[in-house]
A and B are shown apart, each in its own frame.
Chain A
Amino acid sequence: MSVIVDYYNYWIVVFLMMAGFYVVISANNLVKKVVGLNIFQTSVFMLYISMGKVSGGTAPIIIEGVTQYSNPLPHVLILTAIVVGVATTAVGLSLVIRIKHAYGTVEENEFQNEDDAI
């Protein structure tokens, strides 16, 4: 039981990461690929936050009488990463829209065929 509790978070992180990875490499549709990338990204966030957790600790906001806090450093890194993440996702999605304008499709194999024809 304790082995499961000790590593469960990391295993789920690996599972999510692989789920995202699978979507990225196997999906043909570019929007779905972006969703896959986002799942991959969230798994990394989950890894950092899991590592920062201290059992019996509390959120890193100073309160009288509390001595055990979770690690604030991963929180800072991930907080900004989330906002940067949505900004880069938006850039990716606008590239998808431009591809749709240029090729009339967002299925990877279809516009690759068109590229090969040229």
Chain B
Amino acid sequence: MTEVLIDLVLLGMLAMTALRVIFLKDLFAVVMLFSIFSFVSALIFINLDAVDVAFTEAAVGAGISTVLMLGTIALTGRTEKKNSHSSILHLVVVCVTGAALIYGTMDMPPFGNADNPIHQHVAPRYIEDSPKEVGLPNIVTSVLASYRGFDTLGETVVVFAAMIGVLSLLGTARPTNKRATPESGLAKHRVLHVVAKIIIPFIILFALYVQFHGDYGPGGGFQAGVIAAAALILYALVFGASFAHRIVSPRQLEVFAPLGVLLYASVGLVGMIKGANFLDYNVLASTAAAGQHYGIIIIELGVGLTVFAAMLGLFYAFSNQVERSNVQ
């Protein structure tokens, strides 16, 4: 019952936040509300038992997306101009579509029922056989990295491709020749400096924990990559991008991102050389269980590396644009 109540309240809050976004003209407030929106949806995901998803949403939606959007409004202006044309037609279209969809939900199976069609086909097999076949307690990691490994490879490639897209649109951040100086707007805030210095090592430690403990608890390469990137983004925001460039330079990121994808794909190729299918981990070691373990650790490392490099690379590209426009 408490689960249901929490669900009702949090979803209500989510709807309110979305409603407010529609009417606000101040884009800074819109982006902040969107960050809250992501946090609330992460809470809902936890309540709906999707701990891995909640983890990702909290790091990505509330963290990285918000920073990228703030970077964009720093360049494009903070307020939305008044709408000149009437929005009655838009409202009608939205209401009609919404009514049709609500009518459609009446055919949906009731929420939370264990007899729903979705729970009858593939999922029972994953739940019952994955501890034996893959040998990991976290079923989400088993499915992500082993059963649907091909899918995940595709998604890693998409993240890599998006990084290439952004870099070709905005240009790569050139390493600055001048000595690193605290140029960030936050340079004068001593409290932020002290707090950031204290928490950044723990964020990185946590990212490593999430990377290597993803087989047993919630987590994995996607989350770890985002969290590690968040640590460096925090460093760059508080101390200035040129300091962050000294730790991980944009050039290094351009190597890391494809390296992760190659690492992932080469695990598949090793399986093929050993006479099995692409991304079949059973043949990687003497026993199938050990092979699965090695395979998953290596591909998670590849995913983590690519996601880390892509997220940080996106941030560098955006912050480079903001810095350039500040100079002009």
Contact = CB atoms under 8 A, between A and B. Distances in A.
B101 A14 contact: yes
Contacts of B69: 31, 34-35, 93
Interface in A38-83: 38-39, 42, 45-46, 49-63, 68-76, 78-80, 82-83
Interface string B223-260: 00010000000000000000000000000000000000
Q: What DSSP secondary structure best describes chain A's contact surface?
A: helix
Interface string B56-71: 1100110011001101
Given A12-B11, A51-B118, A70 B49 contact: yes
**Chain B binding site: helix, strand, loop or mixed by DSSP?**
helix
Given A50-B48, A79-B52, A83-B222, A94 B80 contact: no
Contacts of B61: 38, 42, 82, 86
Contact of A39 (B18, B48, B116, B317): B18
A30 B37 CA distance: 19
Contacts of B113: 54-55
A38 B81 contact: no
A79 B56 contact: yes
Interface string A19-32: 11111011111111
Sorting the interface of chain B by its residue count into under 10, 10 to 19, 20 to 34 or 35 or more gives 35 or more
A39 B155 contact: no
Contacts of A63: 137
Interface string B287-306: 00000000000000000000
Size bracket of the A interface? 35 or more
Interface of B: 3-4, 7-8, 11-12, 14-15, 18-19, 21-22, 27, 30-31, 34, 37-38, 41, 44-45, 48-53, 56-57, 60-61, 64-65, 68-69, 71-73, 75-77, 80-81, 83-85, 87, 90-91, 93-95, 97-98, 101-102, 105-106, 108, 110-114, 116, 118-119, 122-123, 126-127, 131, 137-140, 143-144, 148, 151-152, 155, 158-159, 162-163, 165-166, 169-170, 216-218, 222, 226, 307, 310-311, 314, 317-318, 321
Q: What 3 A-B pairs have minimum CB-CB distances, sorted nearest first?
A: A87-B162, A55-B112, A6-B110
Given A75-B140, A90-B162, A90-B314, 15 more contacts: A5-B8, A11-B102, A11-B105, A18-B97, A19-B19, A35-B21, A54-B112, A55-B3, A61-B137, A69-B139, A76-B143, A82-B56, A89-B65, A90-B318, A100-B75
